[in-house]
A and B are shown apart, each in its own frame.
Chain A
Amino acid sequence: MRELFHEIGSTLRQNKLRTALTGLAVSWGIFLLITLLGAGNGLMNSFRGNMDQYVSQSVTVEGWRTSKPYAGYKENRQIQLDKRDLDYTKGAHWEGIVGNVIISTASTSVKLMLEGRKTDGWLVGQMPEHQEQDKVQMAAGRFLNDEDLRQQRKVMVVSMAHAKILSPGKPEALVGRWINAGSIAYRVVGIYHTDEQSFRRSCPIPYSTYKSIYDHSDKVESITFTVNGLETLQEHENFEKEYTSTIRRMHDIAPDDKRGIWVMNGYTENLQMNQAAGMLSTALWILGMLTLISGIVGVSNIMLITVKERTHEFGIRKAIGAKPRNILSLIIAESVVITALFGYVGMLLGMLACELLDKTVAQRGVNVGFETIHMMVNPSVDVDVALKATLLLVMAGTLAGMVPAWKAARVKPIEALRAE
């Protein structure tokens, strides 16, 4: 083996330009593939990250205005969900499919007051699970818990924007203090994060507390639940169709009314997202493969020329005892060494390019009003994917070397010696 590498080393040194050209084709192919895949991954990570901020694995249903007259009602009627919808959701019909159900109340506008400082807030009755559901990030303290609900505690979670107004300079110090919301005093148990630009005014209080103070009716503002045992996009769509048609019937909404109730289905959104991501990644792979093929064509082209150029030399080698196998392995080993070496260089450069993207494009965010979106998040390629791609190229390089090598190995020594 060492002998073979020594042989290859001397021929490669002999033909520096040819070696460099072949190497360039290979490196370029791998470099493009890695960079392309890395950038694609960055884009997809960014999609996913932006999605995750809003979409959780659950279904949320809320009332909405109708768009069609039906059953004696005019259009544009506001639908209000109530206990019937909740019972239906939790009922035997969906046993085993509908998992955990949480509900929230409508909101009530109040003035928040502390030591003469005032701001506006929207009280809304919620459950502990809403933290997960709404992706609430706590800046200080905690979100609502089960005890708050059970004991109908007068506790409240406010936004950082609120806290900065009510407790200037030291917003975190607001946790634990009692503030007035309208005529009732609540203890602040936590502060959640808001973006610099946005001013979210919703102030979650325990669902039970809200119902006992502000709303004694059966009304439910929104129903959110998890779904189990459904796998495909089709299954989720069928479930949603059947579920909503029952809700529509209970509220006398036209079966074909696109409005009336509003459904946010995190599962289908995610599945569609994954489908799109899958398509993007397939497209990137196809593009990458095409660039690889051009690299391989380059290698085999140069291999063909090489063999032609070296026919006389192979003739000499054969005359003094080289077997066809020796010639074959010499050429193939040469093509493997070139592709592997330069493929590796291309891979490293590609990874470097991904790193560069991470340092530049990924750092630059785009301001979309209430928050900053990053075009790319962590653009990189798994090492094993990169290695696989390089391995593939080496194998392709071998195949590329195979045809000319066969040709060279089969030329008769006298014919080869005659060639110049």
Chain B
Amino acid sequence: MALIELQGINKTYDNGQPLHVLKGVDLHIERGEFVSIMGASGSGKSTLLNILGILDNYDTGTYHLDGTLIKNLTEKQAADYRNRMIGFIFQSFNLIGFKTAVENVELPLYYQGVPRKKRHDLAMEYLDKMGLTPWASHFPNEMSGGQKQRVAIARALITQPRIILADEPTGALDSKTSVEVMALLKQLNQQDGITIIVVTHEGGVANETDKIIHIKDGVIGEIEENTRHDAWEGSVMK
């Protein structure tokens, strides 16, 4: 079985009048893939990402993550799965402002009950990997966008999750930094074999991934193999 198995996922929001967002999504993502999900706003890509990240539930269908059926979970179970299986990277970084870089990276391990010393050492190790050792005791507002996103990546990696979900990871960054961040993700995928799913509406970003999944009006459209990274001609991004 693939790492991620979605079958006939339906999701309807009911805010006053029903809005059918996902209309029977089937999706398979194998271990070690570097995938992007592309779609315009309103296409349902954010909803899909939320379901993949166990931040939201779905109405019908099945979702297997690494062989585990993700359905009708209690809040506690959902939190536990998120903590152990999924690493999030957000557009707006979502670092906690009153915590230093290293404290932010430590936080997922805190919720696993890892002792403080071990947590700290591990967090320093991951910050070092991101080249942020000198910034360990700085607060997020003392860092650049690129640095913040690298702290967030270190936080996503520290629990050694099954997948990394990146929601517009370059959306708040300038083009130079965007290239660096995408290169970093690519490196993590190639060297460490980490499965990464990037959600984006930018062709340049999607072009960096090995497979591009198009979503439109709540259904999966074309799936492009992009191992040669030539889906977008010209400049790499933007």
Say yes or no: B94 contacts A316, CB within 8 Å.
Answer: yes
Contact of B50 with A414 in the complex, beta carbons under 8 Å:
yes
**Contact indicator B112/A321 (Cβ below 8 Å):** yes
Assess the B88–A320 pair: CB atoms within 8 A. Answer: yes
Most chain B CB atoms below 10 A, which of A14, A325, A413 = A413
Say if the beta carbon of A417 comes within 8 Å of chain B: yes
Q: A417, B94: Cβ atoms under 8 Å?
A: yes
Within 8 Å of chain B (Cβ to Cβ): is A318? Answer: yes
Minimal Cβ-Cβ distance residue in B for A410: B75
Q: Answer whether residue A323 sits at the interface, using C-beta atoms and an 8 A cutoff.
A: yes
Please, how many residues of chain A have a CB less than 8 angstroms from a CB on the other chain?
26
Interchain CB contact under 8 A, B110 and A3 = yes
- Closest Cβ of chain A to B35, distance in Å, is 20
Closest Cβ of chain A: how far from B55's Cβ, in Å?
Answer: 5
B88 contacts A319, C-beta separation under 8 Å? yes
Q: Which of B53-76 contact A (CB under 8 A)?
A: 53, 55-56, 75-76
Q: Do residues A321 and B83 form an inter-chain contact, with CB atoms below 8 A?
A: yes
| B167 to chain A: closest residue by CB | A417
B82:A321 contact, CB within 8 angstroms: yes
Could you tell me the distance in whole angstroms from the C-beta of B54 to the nearest C-beta in chain A? 9
Once the chains bind, are B96 and A318 in contact (CB under 8 Å)?
no
Q: Is the CB of B79 within 8 A of A321?
A: yes
- CB-defined contacts of B95 to chain A, threshold 8 Å: 316
Q: Which residues of B contact A2 (CB under 8 A)?
A: 116
Contacts of B50 in A (CB 8 A): 414
The answer to whether A319 touches B96 (Cβ under 8 A) is no
| B118 surroundings in chain A (CB, below 8 A) | none
Which of B56, B80, B159 touches A323 (beta carbons < 8 Å)? Answer: B80
Residues of A1-50 contacting chain B, CB below 8 A: 2-3, 6-7, 10-11, 13-14
Cα A93 to Cα B99 with chains together (Å): 86
Which residue of the partner chain B has the closest CB to A12? B98
Q: Is the CB of A320 within 8 A of B98?
A: no
Provide 13 A-B residue pairs closer than 8 Å at the C-beta atoms, listed in order of the A residue: A6-B116, A10-B98, A11-B98, A13-B98, A317-B107, A319-B55, A319-B88, A321-B108, A323-B80, A325-B76, A326-B111, A414-B50, A417-B90
